[in-house]
Copies of this chain bind each other. A is one copy, B any other.
């Protein structure tokens, strides 16, 4: 059983070390991860410059490579160059430092790497812990990641190939259980930090806070379940078609 592990926080992040420790219980692990933090890189791929891979010896007994590209580049290089298109049985991404619930799946390099593998029909799971700090405590996240991987190996997904797993930032004993649910509707409200650089030019530095559009009584979404200390699992895809609207828009076909 061959398992590819990647992330977006970079190959030296404690979160990927935690995930490697979990993954090695289940099979042969190959790590290919960015050589620098790539949070917010979404599904970016590198087209206008070449990429490098460098073998690194930081996980005992595990083949690991750092890559100069994005998280999605890492998956493409692992599959095509390192594994020469031999099959990958499972792709694990994370454990991300910070939540990837709701619309964050679109901005997240961690989830986009997992999604890239799922586009190739590889069963893939992205894990995220609701704690942005570098020295976050991954002990509960490791327990739940192992449980979820074990179950998904026993009962594999059929059509869907991607799970978005978020884990509350609390001790394992305080976690209420697992909820399988949908992605919450939400967005980021931007708050650019505005400043002046050493050459006197104005700059804008992106920050912001996440808000949900979900009414408080709805508890079938990941943001609501995480607030109640559940681990959330959102089965996810990459078909962005808004199906209910196809019929409503048929009038466009009458334009001449």
Nearest CB in chain B: distance from A19 CB, A? 18
| Given A42-B42, A42-B112, A253-B180, CB of A195 within 8 Å of CB of B241 | no
| Given A37-B48, A106-B238, CB of A192 within 8 Å of CB of B233 | no
For window 239-256 of chain A, which residues contact chain B by CB distance below 8 Å?
239-246, 248-253, 255-256
Which B residues are in CB contact (< 8 Å) with A236?
240-242
CA distance A253 to B45 in the complex (A): 35
| Given A162-B242, A234-B241, CB of A43 within 8 Å of CB of B46 | no
Most B CB contacts (10 A, CB to CB) among A47, A103, A155, A244 go to A47
- Confirm or deny: A229 has a beta carbon within 8 angstroms of a beta carbon on chain B: no
Which B residues are in CB contact (< 8 Å) with A45?
40, 42, 107, 206
Nearest CB in chain B: distance from A150 CB, A? 8
B237 & A240 in contact (Cβ 8 Å cutoff) = yes
CA distance A194 to B82 in the complex (A): 12
- Confirm or deny: A148 has a beta carbon within 8 angstroms of a beta carbon on chain B: yes
Interface size range on A against B: 35 or more
Contact stretch, chosen from A22-30, A86-94, A182-190: A182-190
B206 & A245 in contact (Cβ 8 Å cutoff) = no
Which B residues are in CB contact (< 8 Å) with A253?
177-180
- Confirm or deny: A31 has a beta carbon within 8 angstroms of a beta carbon on chain B: no
Nearest CB in chain B: distance from A129 CB, A? 18
Q: Which residue of B has the minimal Cβ distance to A181?
A: B246
CA distance A244 to B86 in the complex (A): 30
- Confirm or deny: A140 has a beta carbon within 8 angstroms of a beta carbon on chain B: no
Q: A52-B203, A115-B240 known; 19 other A-B pairs, CB under 8 Å?
A: A44-B70, A50-B203, A50-B204, A51-B206, A73-B206, A79-B190, A120-B187, A157-B245, A158-B248, A159-B244, A160-B242, A160-B248, A164-B240, A178-B253, A180-B250, A182-B239, A182-B241, A235-B243, A236-B241
